Structure 1
């Protein structure tokens, strides 16, 4: 097996929460550090601050700079190694928009309108109108991936339609244009289905969301985690300590399943069902588990949070490395197209 190349990214929304950690960051760090039998890296990884993508839902750019620094601080704290993985802002690499423009000529509006993920977003955001940029954001995603010759895309099931659009665009480009020396410019990337561990919100809703105020942030102190967990929704039918509980409907137990040591989970479930474990004590044990896992992350986060200049330098270094890769790809594209 040869080394594969991955590009992943997030919109810069500022400080990240446990849902981001279990749903994406853990997977990123695992792929970054995975090795082949001969000791070489299994994946060459690039991590993107998707600030252009933020414009599809908000035109206010004033928070993007600080949000990017906060988000990258959390990435570094979680284990992203900038020596292995260039970390960079999308808007600092102008080749993203150039390739996006070219790719936008290779796909129809009707094809993009059939994208089921777009339909879900329109419904969830209660949008009564959609911009050209929002309609075309899967095309920008295709440019993001293919600009770095990404050939593996780690996604959940719901993101498969985006990967298929990327594959269609790569195929269409290769059918239309061939490089005089190397032939096809792009590989069609393969989706790598990843079971993202999505955490429910503290209020019991389907997922953590800062807009709903139901999150535990990666940088929260022990006191803040304790205070937030104290308000977390439990089994509404378990009113007193001795009442039997239903762990399967309890938000706190879903956190136990992720953060508590496996040898303790069966005991917690049994004591909850019997009524021997009250919700107050259950929450305290859950807080202890979360704090234990986040302790190394908190230490690294404190280091980077005190050095925003270092975080900016890491971004600038990543942007230089990413720019070199992007410029090489665009030279191939222009030579294949006989443009520029």
Structure 2
């Protein structure tokens, strides 16, 4: 993730809870099914802003949310992209394996340019999926937990891995890189409180993982609902209501069934529906908030977790680059 500060529910349902699930999955013999690494993409943040004054603070805020949500640094190294120099080295090599025309066809990039109303595109922004490919392949990633909007980037990563392997077979290992597969969650995209396609802090339509129950209730009161349901007794259409989409994720099945039925019949008004939804969200956020307070009270621990993760990442990255140089016959003969 790019370090943009505190995370919201869209980050949680779209990626973070999937990360934690994968981190904790076990094989039938009891061993871990995946070895997981989680990267703070601080170089990627430069694609949309050259201001670096708040990157470190945003990094710590985001990492605190990761840890509070359940990322376990003993199982999963957490590290900054900028502190593992092999990312940029592999990015340079990969840049030779893909055309600018291919990158310009990237639908995720087109969406970013449209949403941010960008008048021009930097070379770094155009090549951001190539750096992302380096981020993944440097750690021999085989499964990439992403939101649905990032699937085109994983496909670019697969293309680059395939092209590298074809051009530069390793003298003893054959293929250096795997072709990773994307893994998305059922709730990969959560609509914003304003009914827009997704939550975004720039749009001010989010609920943060660090919001307490009172703040969640306050924000939920302004959430957009079915425009045809003006009064309590009006029949509602849950399928077009953003608040019901939150219920669909955070309310238990029994409560969800009752809410849908009462909304359609007009027995449930939007005010009560929003209150119930905010309560359901806060119930899930409660243990995250409790753990977050513990990390906020010990900033030295958060920093030490970050530095230790970066040391672990450098070891893996160095081993991969040795294989890359050997395959390319770069360096000592």
Do the two structures share a fold, i.e. TM-score over 0.5? Answer: yes
The verdict on how the C-alpha distance between 1:283 and 1:192 changes in structure 2, with shifts beyond 3 A counting, is closer
Question: Paired residue for 1:293?
Answer: 284
1:123, CA displacement in angstroms? Answer: 2.3
How is 1:139-218 mapped onto 2 (pairs within 5 angstroms)? 139-218=130-209
Aligned position for 1:93: 84
After alignment, is 253-262 or 69-78 more displaced?
Answer: 253-262
Q: How does 1:55-70 map to 2 (within 5 A)?
A: 55-70=46-61
- C-alpha separation in 1, matches of 2:18 and 2:233: 39
Cα distance, 1:167–1:245 mapped onto 2, change above 3 Å: closer
Deviation at 1:305, TM superposition (A): 1.4
Structure 2 counterpart of 1:238, from 226, 229, 234: 229
Aligned partner of 1:278 in structure 2 is 269
2:10 pairs with 1:15: no
Matched, 1:134 2:100: no
8 Å CA contact 2:15–2:146 kept in 1: the answer is no
1:96–1:143 Cα contact (<8 Å) kept: yes
> For 1:234 and 1:162, how far apart are their aligned partners in 2?
33
2:218 aligned residue (224, 227, 244): 227
Query: Structure 1 residues 190, 22: closer, same or farther in 2, change over 3 A?
Result: closer
Q: Match of 2:29?
A: 38
Taking structure 1 as reference, are residues 16 and 193 closer, same or farther at Cα in structure 2, changes over 3 Å only?
closer
Provide the C-alpha distance between the structure 1 equivalents of 2:279 and 2:122, rounded to a whole number of angstroms: 46
Identify if the C-alpha distance between structure 1 residues 240 and 108 changes in structure 2 by more than 3 Å, giving closer, same or farther.
Answer: closer
Q: CA RMSD, aligned part only?
A: 1.6
Choose from 63, 78, 103 the match for 2:94: 103
Displacement of 1:208 after TM fit? 1.1
Greater than 4 Å deviation, 4+ residue runs: none
d(CA) in 2 for partners of 1:40 and 1:166?
28
Unaligned runs of 5+ in 2: none
Q: Distance in 1 between matches of 2:230 and 2:159?
A: 55
Deviations 1:151-193 (A, max 9, x none): 2223455433322221222222222223333232112223335
Q: Does 1:51 align with 2:51?
A: no
Classify 1:193/1:218 alpha carbon distance in 2 versus 1 (closer, same or farther; 3 Å): closer
In structure 2, the residue matched to 1:29 is: 20
1:27-79 Cα deviation digits (max 9, x unpaired): 11111111111111111110000000111111111111000000011111111
Counterparts of 1:223 and 1:120 in 2: how far apart (Å)?
A: 34
Cα distance in 1 for partners of 2:193, 2:247 equals 13
In 2, Cα distance between equivalents of 1:69 and 1:49: 10
Deviates more, 1:126-135 or 1:73-82: 126-135
* Segment of structure 1 superposing worse, 310-319 or 180-189: 180-189
For 1:204, what is the secondary structure of its paired residue? coil
1:193–1:72 Cα change, 3 Å: closer
- Is the 8 Å Cα contact of residues 24 and 196 (structure 1) preserved in structure 2? no
2:67 and 2:16 map into 1 onto residues whose CA distance is 10
CA distance in 2, matches of 1:326, 1:281: 52
Point out where structure 1 has 5 or more consecutive residues left out of the alignment. Answer: 1-9
Q: Which moved more, 1:27-36 or 1:233-242?
A: 233-242
Is the contact between residue 80 and residue 310 of structure 2 (CA under 8 Å) also seen in structure 1?
Answer: yes
